[in-house]
């Protein structure tokens, strides 16, 4: 039997100790601590960790943290949407995104060439730079071969970048495949289309990448998923897990809830009816904004893992 305990601040308190206390506070803070424990367990068990996130998190400063996690071997397979790939490349080039507000005047922003994503702003200029970069990169790739799967393409691009904070760079360096089942759904798609117009034998083979994600693990291997936000990145990873017998460990963090039956809001409990997550799995669902919840829960886990010499 565990009991609620009064939270007390001590001067200079570190994140690990705060999350430890939050585990006995109540409501989502309890779920947060549970999630942190699942992070630790999946790493301790040597599970293959599927790490999924939506592109808005790459727009945010979580991007550098994700890159760090890849380097710490906390993410072994990545699934995301193509917007995040685009923005990681922009940032690797040095593009900076501005902080804004949710209630800025959108017509004024448009006149200034600023595109709003919640309370963040991306300059049109960054998209022009992306265009130049992608044209160059696709040319180099095409010289190597005509037919690419998305994950092979992202790896090749990652090798061309040189930024420790880049997700593509760290993934390439650490042999972590990045899957993106909807590679055309963004500016990237537009540039692929333009490129194919000039080079009709240039092909993206999405079916092969389905094979790649399915075969990147097995029934015998222990598997875990860390799913941030919803969308196809979440679905695609748990589908790959399902085909391989289901995940042993699962954490979902998102603002979406199950009321409308969406994939994004589906809980780890629902996943059990599908066999997407194994019956006996360690699972936690935390509802809220990933930009706050995830660093807290993950840092708590990292501090424990480093203490136990699981990571270094």
Enumerate the active-site residues. 276
Stretch of residues binding a copy of itself (CB under 8 A), selected from 42-50, 114-122, 154-162, 170-178: 114-122
Q: How far is CA 89 from CA 163, 226, 233, 253, in A?
A: 10, 23, 19, 25
| Under 8 Å between Cβ of 119 and 101 | yes
Could you give the angle at which helices 290-307 and 15-22 cross, rounded to 10 degrees? 110
Separation of alpha carbons 212 and 65, rounded Å: 26
Only one of the segments 138-146, 170-178, 217-225, 233-241 lies at the binding site for a copy of itself (rule: CB under 8 A); that segment is 233-241
Among 35, 70, 90, 120, which residue sits at the site for a copy of itself (rule: CB under 8 A)? 120
Binding characters for a copy of itself, 25-44, by CB under 8 A (x = yes): xxxxxxxx------------
In the window 160-219, what residues touch a copy of itself (CB under 8 A)?
165, 181-186, 189-190, 192-193, 196-197, 202-211, 214
- 245 counts as binding a copy of itself under rule CB under 8 A: no
Query: Measuring CA to CA, which residue among 154, 101, 100, 97 is closest to residue 126?
Result: 97
For residue 85, CA distances in Å to 63, 99, 155, 191, 257 come to 10, 20, 11, 13, 26
- Rule CB under 8 A: say whether 310 interacts with a copy of itself: no
Q: Which two tokens stand for residue 31?
A: 């779920």
Q: Which segment (44-52, 113-121, 137-145, 170-178) binds a copy of itself by CB under 8 A?
A: 113-121
**How many residues belong to the site for a copy of itself (CB under 8 A)?**
127
Q: Using the minimum distance from each CB to a copy of itself, give the nearer residue, 93 or 210.
A: 210
The residue within the footprint of a copy of itself, chosen from 229, 241, 248, 282 (CB under 8 A), is: 229
Write out the two tokens for 3: 């009991």
Please state, in angstroms and rounded to a whole number, the distance separating the CA atoms of residues 210 and 301.
31
Distance (Å, rounded) from C-alpha 110 to C-alpha 16? 42
As measured in angstroms, the least distance from the Cβ of 248 to a copy of itself is 15
Which residue among 47, 78, 90, 114 contacts a copy of itself (CB under 8 A)?
A: 114
Taking CA atoms, 216 is separated from 14, 241, 251, in Å, by 37, 10, 20
Which of 59, 126, 151, 281 touches a copy of itself by CB under 8 A? Answer: 59
- Which range binds a copy of itself by CB under 8 A, 42-50, 128-136, 219-227, 258-266? 258-266
What is the DSSP pairing of strand 147-148 with strand 48-53? unpaired
- Residue of 265, 281, 282, 304 interacting with a copy of itself (CB under 8 A): 265
* Residue 68 interacts with a copy of itself (CB under 8 A): yes or no: yes
Q: Does 256 bind a copy of itself (CB under 8 A)?
A: yes
The single residue listed with the structure tokens 């160059």 is 136
Which one of 129, 173, 288, 310 is in contact with a copy of itself (CB under 8 A)? Answer: 288
């Amino acid at each position: 039997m565990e009991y609620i305990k009064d939270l007390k601040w001590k001067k200079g308190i570190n994140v690990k100790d705060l999350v430890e206390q939050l585990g006995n506070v109540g409501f989502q803070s309890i779920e947060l601590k549970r999630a942190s424990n699942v992070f630790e367990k999946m790493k301790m068990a040597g599970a293959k960790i599927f790490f999924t996130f939506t592109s808005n998190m790459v727009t945010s400063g979580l991007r550098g943290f994700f890159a760090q996690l890849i380097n710490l071997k906390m993410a072994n397979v990545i699934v995301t949407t193509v917007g995040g790939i685009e923005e990681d490349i922009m940032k690797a080039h040095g593009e900076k995104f501005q902080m804004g507000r949710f209630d800025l005047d959108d017509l004024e922003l448009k006149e200034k060439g600023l595109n709003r994503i919640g309370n963040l702003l991306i300059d049109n200029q960054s998209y022009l730079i992306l265009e130049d970069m992608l044209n160059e990169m696709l040319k180099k790739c095409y010289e190597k071969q005509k037919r690419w799967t998305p994950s092979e393409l992202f790896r090749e691009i990652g090798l061309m970048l040189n930024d420790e904070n880049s997700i593509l760079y760290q993934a390439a360096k650490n042999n972590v495949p990045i899957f993106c089942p909807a590679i055309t759904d963004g500016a990237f798609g537009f540039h692929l289309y333009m490129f194919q117009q000039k080079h009709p034998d240039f092909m993206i083979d999405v079916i092969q990448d389905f094979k790649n994600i399915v075969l990147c693990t097995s029934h015998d291997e222990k598997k875990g998923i860390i799913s941030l936000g919803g969308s196809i990145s979440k679905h695609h990873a748990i589908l790959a897990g399902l085909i391989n017998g289901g995940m042993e460990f699962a954490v979902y963090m998102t603002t979406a809830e199950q009321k409308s039956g969406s994939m994004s809001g589906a809980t780890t409990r629902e996943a059990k009816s599908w066999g997407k997550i194994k019956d006996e799995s360690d699972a936690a669902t935390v509802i809220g904004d990933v930009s706050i919840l995830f660093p807290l829960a993950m840092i708590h886990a990292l501090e424990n893992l480093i203490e136990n010499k699981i990571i270094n």
